[in-house]
Amino acid sequence: MDEITFAVLGTGGIGRRALEVSQHKDALTPVAACDRHGVAVDFDGLDVDELLAATEGNIDSEVATDGGTGAATAESGVKQHGEDRGVVASSQARPSEDAIQEIIDRGDRIDAVLLALPNYEHDFIPRTADRFVEGGYSGVMIDVLKRSRVIGMLDERSDAFEDAGVTFICGAGATPGLLTGAAALAAQSFVEVTDVDIWWGVGLKSGYEDNRGTVREDIAHLPEYDIETARGLSESEIEAIIDDHDGVIEFEDMEHADDVLLERAGVCDADDVTVGGVLDVRNDEKPTTTTVRVTGRTFDGETATNTFQLGDETSMEANVNGPALGYLKAGVRRNRAGEYGVFGPADLLPGF
């Protein structure tokens, strides 16, 4: 396919790894990256190696939708680099009061935008999408969101996306994302799906320091927390939670968007989907094998379970960012064919 230009919003763990993985994907050229401190734009292609080296340790490099007033605090984990911090540590970048707007203003030269923005209020990504539509953007937008309730907010904007020429693919990471798509494929053996069980295991190969936003968002799934209370936790409080669990945190019955994404694709009812997993914050090895089990009834009356497993050697970064960029490529194909609106990972296969 023709060359694809794309931008990354957020240079924390997910955004940084997306830039890195893009170098191994054909036809992808990262031309812009931003965080709450600044923006880097080069339509000949960013120097990814320099940008990654300069932003090493820029955890929680958040982007605000309100002109730059992000939610990060003094304990956000963003490290200083000389006189600069965040993406502006790169020689390719400069400070900005509203980095997202600068990306929007150059949207006519950007085919796709990856929103690598965990750990925000539920309507943050939908409101960011609103800004792109209002700014006249027509292209592809991809997110790796996890929360079920956000899907409805995006579906409510489907008509606006269609009118603007935007193809929005939601929940396009690992779970939801890769595992949602695997469940949709596994379901094809059945005339009725009775149960989908997703059980994931993550060992933070790149380290907690590079994944603070992801860990904070996962903590929000523990019974005693929610996204609002997790946002208010200091870094020391999060580290105390990790210590209380000896670095290994188990989650059950999570609010993961796999359920509503499979329901909207017609695979099964959302209530028939369960998601849980184990996060090891201190070790590279996965504490458990990531597995999708789809149980259903075949046309000849048999009940069976189809199982899909990820290799234990694949990292979280590989399983999140590989699919995200694959879905980005698929989204560009749909967009160039004139297909606009909201899509989920069970609606289309990612490009390779």
- Residue ranges for the known binding site are 10-14, 213-214
Q: Which residue type is seen at 66?
A: D
* Catalytic hit among 25, 37, 62, 217: 217
Which helix (DSSP H) or strand (DSSP E) does residue 160 occupy?
helix 158-164
Angle between helices 13-22 and 212-219 (to 10 degrees): 130
How far is 346 from 264, CA to CA, in rounded Å? Answer: 9
Please compute, for residue 91, the number of CA atoms within 13 A of its CA located in the half-sphere on the CB side.
Answer: 4
Please state the residue numbers annotated as binding site for NAD(+).
10-14, 213-214
Catalytic residue among 25, 37, 146, 329: 146
3-state SS, residue 320: helix
Partners of 5 in beta bridges: 29
The residue type found at 259 is D
∠ CA 348-148-231, rounded to 5° = 125
**217 tagged catalytic:** yes
Structure tokens at 241: 């939670």
φ/ψ (deg, to 5) at 136: 85, 15
- Distance from C-alpha of 249 to C-alpha of 242, rounded to nearest angstrom: 7
311 Cβ contact list (under 8 Å, min separation 6): none
What residues act catalytically?
Answer: 146, 217, 221
